[in-house]
């Protein structure tokens, strides 16, 4: 990736400054976990069963533990290592909960955690084409992030996205006992999982609103979760779409009192339990208010 600085209407390329140590990358991420990945830091250098986890984090939105590993060496199998860490987590759930509660002075219970959303994230200055292809499965709980630093204290962080046509890892997992154990518990949700309980008419309505939101900004991406489909920008949920049997719900990712809703279509759910993030809920039965609803969501961009 090339980074330029504009000076007198000319582009001057900034030089990349290699990280000397993995610890430098780890420090940047751990000091900015919420900003970079919308995660909560639990423990740096978490040791369990004689294995060291670089960073143990927690995803508050999905109530799931996230393991982060930092690599300067490009010659490693991220899939094998990723499944090893996921297996370690699933076999030692109690230790992860105890660490969370002791470090953050919480009282998190086992049943409150969605273990299906557990993930391993690898962070490196670069990945080989083989590593990228090896993790390009739609249902694998392993993610890759590339990080680089440049002159003028600039840092670029780039999550590597999976191809839209990525296949399932199920056939490979079934041939490997450790992989199969993890695969049977970890779940990467897709839009099709949500379509399974909706009518054709509701799916069409969902797609119309989804596409309208995506068209608001080229940086918005789709992140299906267990109970809803999140539309995110910069790791923040702009809107959450929940397909029910007879209607579509949209949760606008705004805090109470911050949304300018002149028509009063958005319901305040800040004091009501709900799956999607944000304090405002919309019930959608048709597309007559589509443009107005897009004006509400645009306020978050």
Q: Where are the domains of the chain?
A: 4-185, 191-298
CA distance 217 to 170: 34
| 31, 155 Cβ separation under 8 angstroms | no
Query: Helix 290-298 vs helix 200-214: angle between axes, to the nearest 10 degrees?
Result: 40
Q: Which of 38-52, 152-166, 246-260 has the lowest mean pLDDT?
A: 152-166
Name the CATH code of domain 191-298 (choices 1.10.20, 3.90.1150, 1.10.3470, 3.30.70): 3.90.1150
pTM of the model: 0.77
The contacts of residue 63 (CB under 8 Å, 6+ apart) are 112, 113, 114, 117
What pLDDT is attached to residue 267?
Answer: 93
Closest CA to 199 of 148, 144, 243, 259: 243
Retrieve residue 130's tokens.
């083989």
Question: What mean pLDDT comes out for the span 275-291?
Answer: 91
Residue in the structure block whose two tokens are 């400054």 = 17
What pLDDT is attached to residue 172?
Answer: 57
Which H/E stretch holds residue 144?
Answer: strand 142-150
| Residue scoring higher pLDDT (123 or 274) | 123
| 230, 251 Cβ separation under 8 angstroms | no
CA distance 127 to 95: 31
CATH of domain 4-185: 3.40.1350.10
**Beta-bridge mates of residue 12:** 5
Residue in the structure block whose two tokens are 């249902």 = 139
Q: What whole-number percentage of the chain has pLDDT above 70?
A: 91
- Going along the chain, which residue ranges are E strands? 4-7, 10-13, 40-48, 51-59, 64-71, 119-124, 142-150, 154-159, 221-224, 229-233, 236-243, 248-252, 267-268, 280-284
The contacts of residue 81 (CB under 8 Å, 6+ apart) are 69, 120, 122
Q: What is the pLDDT of residues 73-99, one digit of tens each?
A: 665 678 888 888 998 999 999 999 999
Identical fold between 4-185 and 191-298? no
Rg over alpha carbons for the chain, rounded to the nearest Å, is 21
């Amino acid at each position: 990736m090339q980074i330029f600085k504009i000076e007198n209407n000319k582009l001057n390329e900034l030089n990349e400054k290699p990280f000397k140590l993995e610890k430098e990358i780890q420090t940047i991420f751990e000091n900015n976990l919420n900003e970079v990945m919308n995660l909560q830091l639990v423990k740096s250098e978490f040791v369990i069963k004689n294995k060291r986890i670089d960073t143990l984090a927690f995803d508050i939105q999905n109530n799931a533990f996230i393991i982060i590993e930092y690599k300067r060496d490009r010659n490693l199998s991220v899939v094998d290592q990723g499944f090893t860490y996921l297996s370690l987590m699933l076999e030692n759930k109690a230790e992860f909960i105890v660490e969370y509660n002791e470090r953050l002075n919480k009282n998190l219970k086992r049943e409150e955690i969605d273990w299906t959303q557990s993930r391993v994230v690898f962070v490196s200055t670069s990945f080989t084409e083989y590593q990228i292809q090896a993790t390009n499965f739609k249902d694998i709980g392993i993610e890759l992030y590339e990080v680089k630093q440049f002159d003028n204290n600039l840092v670029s962080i780039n999550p590597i996205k999976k191809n839209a046509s990525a296949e399932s890892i199920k056939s490979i997992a079934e041939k490997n006992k450790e992989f199969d154990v993890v695969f049977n518990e970890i779940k990467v949700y897709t839009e099709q999982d949500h379509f399974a309980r909706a009518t054709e008419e509701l799916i069409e309505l969902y797609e119309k609103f989804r596409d309208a939101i995506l068209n608001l900004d080229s940086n918005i991406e789709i992140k299906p979760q267990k109970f809803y489909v999140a539309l995110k920008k910069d790791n923040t949920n702009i809107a959450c779409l929940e397909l029910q049997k007879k209607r579509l719900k949209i949760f606008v990712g705004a805090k109470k009192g911050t949304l300018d809703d002149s028509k009063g279509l958005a319901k305040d759910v800040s004091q009501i339990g709900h799956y999607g993030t944000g304090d405002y809920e919309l019930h959608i039965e048709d597309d007559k208010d589509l443009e107005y609803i897009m004006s509400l969501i645009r306020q978050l961009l």
